[in-house]
Structure 1
Amino acid sequence: MTMLWEKSYPPGVQWDSQPALPTLVEDLDRAVATWPANPFLICMGQTMDFATFGALADRVAANLVKMGVGPGVHVGLHLPNTPHFVLAFYAVLKAGGVVVPLSPLDAERELTHKQTKADIRLIVSFAGLLDKLPLANGVRLVVAGPTDFAGKGLPPEALPAGALPFTALLAPAEAPAAGWPTRCLNDLATLQFSGGTTGLPKPAMLTHQNLSASADAYDTFSRFLGLTPGQERLLVVLPLFHIYALDTLMVRALRNGYCMILHPRWDTDAVLDSIQEHKPTLFAGVPTMHRAIASSPRVKDIDFSSFKFVGSGGAPLPVELAHEFEAATGRPVLEGWGMSETSPAGTITPPHKRKVGSAGIPMPGITIEIRDLTDPHKGLGPNEKGEICIKGRNVTQGYYKQPEETREAFVDGLFRTGDIGYLDEDGFMFIVDRRKDMILSGGYNVYPRVVEEAIYEHPAVAEVIVIGIPDSYRGESAKAFVTLRPAAEPFTLEQLRAFLADKLGRHELPVALEFRDLLPKTAVGKLWKQPLVAEERAKAAATAA
């Protein structure tokens, strides 16, 4: 059966591509053998080639085995974007273990929750991050430092009691006498916590096949870009603990012999300096990063001609921001969509056929269906709004030790994403909103993203979040939280409603407006509604009392 989106594919790219897949450990061994002298990591003033990386990964894996890491053992990586993360990731897998990426920005309560839910037995963290890292009972700790690769590990007095320095993992060590554990495609590779923007994060089980299939989908679709194995350079500022960077950047970089230019955190000037110095060919970010570049006073002095691809994901890309970035850099931004549970492949925008406001078309090997919101067994046709559901070799089998949540997450073999959207007649997917974010106002469905897109057209608005608040007459109504562009003047709610009058229906117009200096964001930089929803609920409860 021909799918709607196949006619929108770039020439020479097949949607039904299903090649044999390697495990991530096989990726490591092949990359080291193929590109030994090529640079793989540029970070912290040092460059590491593939041969050096492979040798160190073997050392770390061997020392982890001595510490008891093997099949069934879960290791947390509580690290910023440094070589430690990449080394530890592949070393844990080579030792037969399972990686659990942890955000250094998480609060203590959330880290405790993740350790418990993921059955973590060992954590690799970084000096300076330990104050907010509570260790569950029996969890061992390895601490990395900024000078580990210069031969200067952390002094004993800098380590908590019982902790090991990362340099202990870098010490020469023999491979296990019985050989490395055999890894299969169906073996668990990571427990990737979902974003947690709609509740407590859940550990999605991602196998070697899931991550390998996701990387292959991106590689297959990217053939039209003319990328050359062993030659491309990736600007990596997205945090590696997030699935977006972990798979689409790190896994693909190692698989294809690309060089990763790692930045521990976002710093606009440092990123622009890196673009000038290293001439990266690939850059993927979230909308807040694209906005920072486009609005920088230095942007006009930076040469972006080395970019072959600029991607945006992790959060909806406002149409106005896409235009602004392209005007400022001369490079289009291609939007995609995915999630932790899809490893994260989902959709991507074909450069030869872009549609404003769309997240693109399903990637190779991935099927997307729109299901009815009241009867999830009922499929919907083109341009009919419903819940976006997905299946493919990249999709998780469920949540670790959460059978009820797993059952609820699937229907007819499809993963239920919780996003509301539709496929048009050309197979382009349009995301309307998160199902849980939808506002029911006077019997009408109001989609916050639609309201946000309209507000972004206001010249004074930098960022906006729209949520539902209690309304005694309508049940719920929309409230907008806004940050302003530099030097922009605030406006009244009445002025905003007048501006939106020809863009939204009356039931969609905000009934409240609040200006903020900053809007809450998740660890990966996505605008985050949940804290604002919690604030408004607390206000409503206090008023009712």
Structure 2
Amino acid sequence: MLEEKPWHKQYPKEIPKSIEYGQNLIPDYLKESARKYPMKNALHFMGAEMTYQKLYEHALQFAHYLKSIGVEKGDRVAIMLPNLPQGVIAYYGTLMTGAIVVQTNPLYMEREVEYQMQDSGAKVILTLDILFPRVSSAVKNTSVEHIIVTAIKDFLPFPKNLIYPFIQKREYGIVVKVNHEGNHHLFTEILKAASKEEINYEGDPEKDLALLQYTGGTTGFPKGVMLTHNNLVANTKMCDAWLYKYKEGEERVLALLPFFHVYGMTTVLILSVMKGHKMIILPKFNATDTLKAIQKQRPTLFPGAPTMYIGLLNHPDIAKYDLSSIDSCISGSAALPVEVQEEFEKVTGGKLVEGYGLTETSPVTHANLLWDGPRKKGSIGLPWPSTDVAVLSAENHEPLPVGEIGEIGIKGPQVMKGYWNRPEETESTFANGWLLTGDMGYMDEEGYFYVVDRKKDMIIAGGFNIYPREIEEVLYEHKAVQEVVVAGVPDPYRGETVKAYVVLKENAEVTEQELNEYCRKHLAAFKVPRLYEFRDELPKTAIGKILRRALVEEERQKLANDKKEA
């Protein structure tokens, strides 16, 4: 049990200070849900549904096939797919063999795939037919021995499965034919031939890795975060404790967050299977498709990212859709603007709260309360059960008093084992037992935490420390602004200067001068952006997180080019 912390006093009685997370491996929960809810639908995908019994059988088939081609405990199996039923099957099937999942972004290009396969030492990769040419070329100089290929049409209902290849050819201009022979394997053939017999998988949840999850690599090369079965189970059970009003076996979860992102894996994939919920799977975010799915499939839980909620709110026909089934949403991956939270709650009648986490913590460590207790604007909320958090000084990494800004440190069962094959970087990420998040923040007297910015994103202009998030919050409140990101760009006089990259709402108009006057009313003069750039869109990750560093790199490149020309 954790000692009493300020945030524990804010917990409603239903949320415990600490949780029991047992000694189960992740596949145990699929086995248990298949036993308890055999005929309940586990998955809905574009009109097709799959029961828990069928999902369990398919996972067993995939596991048996992996074993037949030489996959053993500790081997790495890469899954390079958008959200599809095949990804759920492969995830649990891989873990049943004792192997480690390597989630790979399907948007990766050859160089990125090659790096990740080389670094992880993956033996097998599962991918889409349309990605096969890219993948087969990328893995030539890696340890990958087998490529398993599937297609989106493989789990579509009739007649969509017949129509989809024509749509695919029109959209991507490619039709790929792969034969089930040699080291190339077809997912559909695997499910025809492999055994459905029970597998006796054993392991140590505290020591055995379930996942290598690669970080974004904004500084240097991406690192493989080593997450054990215990890490992921503990974080999922924390999430379950936070969602205490939800009933086992009865909820419907919108599976829009990518499973290849650890946030989607924990709060959607593992949580849904652990609790016997139904996943409504969408392979990518499209505002119209999402609104249609919400109206028709009636999800109750919608974990997402701010850009998803913003995209829905700015859809011109949002008022035509019934979104009233949504009871709660936990937003992660980036700061949630207050006005987006308020507007989304007004439209749906549900609750939308901001959470916080990072890949190294499986990923969630904080969230605002959904139902009972105070919610504070601009706060990432309270630490989750069994999680200890402190604001640390830069000098000696000792906890700072309430209200002082320092680096946020985390302790808890969801904290990673370390970085794959990087002992020195692992060591430098911990201090006095705390995982150093790289985020600057503070805690108030009631135990609510606030992130003021990434340590590396902090702008130092003319000697002042400036936190971009504060400026973004102000600009998000302007009626013409749909999306904004603020970054520090090189400046010969101030060292850095503040620049705002702005996407306007459809048909909205505002000038740079008007934004400047608006900011001056709400911010100290040294924080007001000196530069504004209007864009049609901002660079983002697959989960919708705006890539601030990509914009900064653009500016540095421009400066370098200007110097060359001069």
Identify whether the pair has TM-score above 0.5, normalized to the shorter chain: yes
1:434 equivalenced with 2:417 (yes/no):
no
Q: Distance in 2 between matches of 1:128 and 1:505?
A: 52
1:91 matched residue in structure 2: 93
2:383 matched residue in structure 1: 362
Q: Secondary structure at the match of 2:243?
A: helix
1:473 matched residue in structure 2: 493
1:269 matched residue in structure 2: 288
2:362 touches 2:415 (CA, 8 Å); kept in 1?
Answer: yes
Question: What does 1:149-168 correspond to in 2, within 5 Å?
Answer: 149=155, 157-159=177-179, 162-168=183-189
Q: Which amino acid aligns with 1:192?
A: Q
Q: Which amino acid aligns with 1:142?
A: I
Q: Distance in 2 between matches of 1:422 and 1:71?
A: 43
Q: Which amino acid aligns with 1:38?
A: K
How far the C-alpha of 1:106 sits from its partner, in A, is 1.8
Q: Which amino acid aligns with 1:504?
A: L
Q: Which amino acid aligns with 2:505?
A: R
Q: Distance in 2 between matches of 1:17 and 1:137?
A: 41
1:65 touches 1:176 (CA, 8 Å); kept in 2?
Answer: no
1:198 touches 1:436 (CA, 8 Å); kept in 2?
Answer: no
Q: Distance in 2 between matches of 1:441 and 1:132?
A: 43
1:120 equivalenced with 2:122 (yes/no):
yes
Q: Distance in 2 between matches of 1:330 and 1:121?
A: 47
- Of 272, 287, 303, the residue aligned with 1:253 is 272
Range with bigger deviation, 257-266 or 111-120: 111-120
- Of 224, 230, 233, the residue aligned with 2:249 is 230
2:121 touches 2:142 (CA, 8 Å); kept in 1?
Answer: no
2:314 touches 2:505 (CA, 8 Å); kept in 1?
Answer: no
Q: Distance in 2 between matches of 1:327 and 1:157?
A: 48
2:482 touches 2:505 (CA, 8 Å); kept in 1?
Answer: yes
Q: Distance in 1 between matches of 2:430 and 2:388?
A: 14
1:381 matched residue in structure 2: 401
2:170 matched residue in structure 1: none
1:146 matched residue in structure 2: 152
Change (3 A) 1:150 1:489: closer
1:198 touches 1:530 (CA, 8 Å); kept in 2?
Answer: no
Q: Which amino acid aligns with 2:552?
A: V
Range with bigger deviation, 129-138 or 451-460: 129-138
2:537 matched residue in structure 1: 518
1:195 touches 1:340 (CA, 8 Å); kept in 2?
Answer: no
Q: Distance in 2 between matches of 1:197 and 1:487?
A: 34
2:171 matched residue in structure 1: none
Q: Secondary structure at the match of 2:78?
A: strand
Provide the aligned C-alpha RMSD in A: 2.0
How far the C-alpha of 1:199 sits from its partner, in A, is 4.1
1:218 matched residue in structure 2: 239
Q: Which amino acid aligns with 1:205?
A: M
2:117 touches 2:142 (CA, 8 Å); kept in 1?
Answer: no
Q: Which amino acid aligns with 2:467?
A: Y
2:223 matched residue in structure 1: 202
The number of equivalent residue pairs is 540
1:354 touches 1:360 (CA, 8 Å); kept in 2?
Answer: yes
Q: Distance in 1 between matches of 2:177 and 2:284?
A: 27
- Of 151, 165, 180, the residue aligned with 2:200 is 180
Q: Which amino acid aligns with 1:353?
A: P
1:197 touches 1:529 (CA, 8 Å); kept in 2?
Answer: no
1:483 equivalenced with 2:485 (yes/no):
no
1:315 matched residue in structure 2: 334
Q: Distance in 1 between matches of 2:555 and 2:358?
A: 27
Deviations 1:390-435 (A, max 9, x none): 0110110110000111011101111111111111111111111111
1:64 matched residue in structure 2: 66
1:64 touches 1:169 (CA, 8 Å); kept in 2?
Answer: no
Range with bigger deviation, 420-429 or 179-188: 179-188
1:499 matched residue in structure 2: 518
How far the C-alpha of 1:442 sits from its partner, in A, is 1.2
Deviations 1:148-167 (A, max 9, x none): 34799999943598421112
- Which structure 1 residue ranges, 5 or more long, are not aligned? none
1:38 matched residue in structure 2: 40
Question: What TM-score do you get using the length of structure 1 for normalisation?
Answer: 0.95
2:48 touches 2:156 (CA, 8 Å); kept in 1?
Answer: no
1:452 equivalenced with 2:472 (yes/no):
yes
2:122 touches 2:143 (CA, 8 Å); kept in 1?
Answer: no
Q: Distance in 1 between matches of 2:179 and 2:522?
A: 58
Q: Distance in 2 between matches of 1:171 and 1:184?
A: 32
Q: Distance in 2 between matches of 1:19 and 1:141?
A: 35
Q: Distance in 2 between matches of 1:199 and 1:282?
A: 36
How far the C-alpha of 1:250 sits from its partner, in A, is 0.5
2:498 touches 2:528 (CA, 8 Å); kept in 1?
Answer: yes
Q: Which amino acid aligns with 1:332?
A: K
- Of 244, 248, 264, the residue aligned with 2:263 is 244
2:310 matched residue in structure 1: 291
Question: What does 1:9-88 correspond to in 2, within 5 Å?
Answer: 9-88=11-90
Q: Distance in 2 between matches of 1:383 and 1:120?
A: 46
Change (3 A) 1:544 1:150: closer
Q: Distance in 2 between matches of 1:171 and 1:98?
A: 24
1:534 matched residue in structure 2: 553
How far the C-alpha of 1:45 sits from its partner, in A, is 2.4
Q: Distance in 2 between matches of 1:174 and 1:461?
A: 55
- Which structure 2 residue ranges, 5 or more long, are not aligned? 166-174
- Of 104, 107, 120, the residue aligned with 1:105 is 107
Deviations 1:188-225 (A, max 9, x none): 000011133444321100000000000000111211xx
1:143 touches 1:159 (CA, 8 Å); kept in 2?
Answer: no
Q: Distance in 1 between matches of 2:195 and 2:178?
A: 28
Q: Distance in 1 between matches of 2:91 and 2:210?
A: 10
Q: Which amino acid aligns with 2:303?
A: A
Change (3 A) 1:59 1:466: same
Deviations 1:474-507 (A, max 9, x none): 1111111111111111412x33221111221121
Q: Secondary structure at the match of 1:405?
A: helix
Q: Distance in 2 between matches of 1:137 and 1:428?
A: 46
1:77 touches 1:123 (CA, 8 Å); kept in 2?
Answer: yes
Q: Distance in 1 between matches of 2:102 and 2:130?
A: 20
How far the C-alpha of 1:17 sits from its partner, in A, is 2.6
How far the C-alpha of 1:29 sits from its partner, in A, is 1.3
1:25 touches 1:183 (CA, 8 Å); kept in 2?
Answer: no
Deviations 1:64-91 (A, max 9, x none): 1001112121011001111110000000
1:169 equivalenced with 2:163 (yes/no):
no
Change (3 A) 1:55 1:175: closer
Range with bigger deviation, 406-415 or 136-145: 136-145
Change (3 A) 1:327 1:156: closer
1:423 matched residue in structure 2: 443
Q: Distance in 2 between matches of 1:13 and 1:171?
A: 45
Q: Which amino acid aligns with 2:390?
A: E
Change (3 A) 1:150 1:321: closer
Q: Distance in 2 between matches of 1:144 and 1:434?
A: 39
Q: Which amino acid aligns with 1:188?
A: L
1:106 touches 1:523 (CA, 8 Å); kept in 2?
Answer: no
How far the C-alpha of 1:146 sits from its partner, in A, is 2.7
Q: Secondary structure at the match of 1:56?
A: helix
